[in-house]
Amino acid sequence: MRQETATFETRLKHNALAIEALLGRLLGLSVEADEIARPENLLVAMRHGVLNGGKRLRPFLVIECASLLGGSVEAALRVGAALECIHCYSLVHDDLPAMDDDDIRRGQPTVHKAFDEATAILAGDSLLTFAFDIIASPETPLADAQKTALVLALARAAGHGGMAGGQALDLAAEKAAPDEAGIVTLQAMKTGALLRFACEAGAIVAGAGPVDRQHLRSFGEKIGLAFQLADDLLDLTADAATMGKATGKDAARGKGTLVALHGQPWAESRLEQLVAEAEALLEPYGARSSILAETARFIANRRN
């Protein structure tokens, strides 16, 4: 168990460094074909929004799911970088005054604080757009059919039927508290869709058939639910210093969460159940999937 954890943590850290390095290179100043120029101030804001030392959990899932099925790590790394651009754009826009109005993210000023609102809007737009550039780029060593499948799945996960729609529901929830089904839908969209995509993307990168693809998609769904539940627990119990961002905001805003609805003991037991279900989905892959099982436990037990 200790050995396994050490491997997991090493791999997670190694992955974060690799993603950081790749994103840093991709967001460098050299102009790509079809681009006219890259405005430096906008690039600096994009880098501020992306190169923030995050855990890079979503790219990690892409890479580990691809590896499980024998996919190219190089391709998975680029798809992971694209996914991280989407995740980070959503943070940049969600932090805006008109949205969640957050000044601090990972202990640093948010993009609209470090720059200005207009630049934060454009940096978010540009990161969102850049994700599709990265996937479709000739430098991503995948077949066109894989790239098309990834673009479609990512657009659906990130768009009005996924993450962006979830954020819209979240804003509406401040005015009229959703019922339990509403909370589940909101969270499946806002947080779950990208985590589900991360796992499914690994399968697409590996050229997996529909069975493996569905398996990893379901695994992604389970850990998406666990992620959100752990997040809601953390919002209730952690302090701002641990999280590097404001906490206790859900309760302050009267937002409904499953933790608020059913209580902490229920949430902790539900988390255990979700991890068990996620692990069960990995059984067909045997010992090779131990890192993914460890990831599910990490997501459920994380403290920041």
Q: Which of 8, 130, 227, 298 binds a copy of itself (CB under 8 A)?
A: 130
Q: Which of 24, 28, 141, 161 binds a copy of itself (CB under 8 A)?
A: 161
Rounded Cα distance, 31 and 16, in Å: 25
276 binds a copy of itself (CB under 8 A): no
Find, among 48, 194, 21, 192, the residue nearest to 110 by Cα.
Answer: 48
Taking CA atoms, 92 is separated from 42, 120, 188, 225, in Å, by: 13, 6, 20, 23
Within the chain, where are the H helices? 2-26, 40-50, 57-68, 73-94, 111-114, 117-136, 144-158, 163-173, 180-187, 193-205, 210-237, 240-243, 249-252, 258-262, 264-282, 290-301
Least distance (Å) between residue 301 CB and a copy of itself: 26
Rounded Cα distance, 243 and 185, in Å: 25
Q: Name, in order, each residue with C-beta under 8 angstroms of 39's C-beta and a sequence gap of 6 or more.
A: none
122 binds a copy of itself (CB under 8 A): yes
136 binds a copy of itself (CB under 8 A): yes
Q: Which of 18, 63, 68, 135 binds a copy of itself (CB under 8 A)?
A: 135
141 binds a copy of itself (CB under 8 A): no
160 binds a copy of itself (CB under 8 A): yes
Q: Which of 185, 214, 218, 273 binds a copy of itself (CB under 8 A)?
A: 185
**Interface mask (CB under 8 A) for a copy of itself, residues 59-98, using x and -?**
------------------------------x---x--x-x
Q: Which of 8, 60, 132, 219 binds a copy of itself (CB under 8 A)?
A: 132
State the DSSP code for 284.
G
175 binds a copy of itself (CB under 8 A): no
Task: Kindly report the number of other CB atoms within 10 A of residue 41's CB atom.
Answer: 11
114 binds a copy of itself (CB under 8 A): no
Task: Using the rule CB under 8 A, give the single segment among 68-76, 119-127, 253-261, 280-288 that binds a copy of itself.
Answer: 119-127
Rounded Cα distance, 69 and 206, in Å: 6
Rounded Cα distance, 168 and 13, in Å: 33
29 binds a copy of itself (CB under 8 A): no
CB 267 within 8 A of CB 232: yes
39 binds a copy of itself (CB under 8 A): yes
43 binds a copy of itself (CB under 8 A): yes
Q: What is the binding site for a copy of itself (CB under 8 A)?
A: 31-39, 41-43, 46, 89, 93, 96, 98-99, 116-119, 121-122, 124-126, 128-130, 132-133, 135-138, 143-145, 147-149, 151-162, 164-169, 171-172, 185, 188-189, 192-193
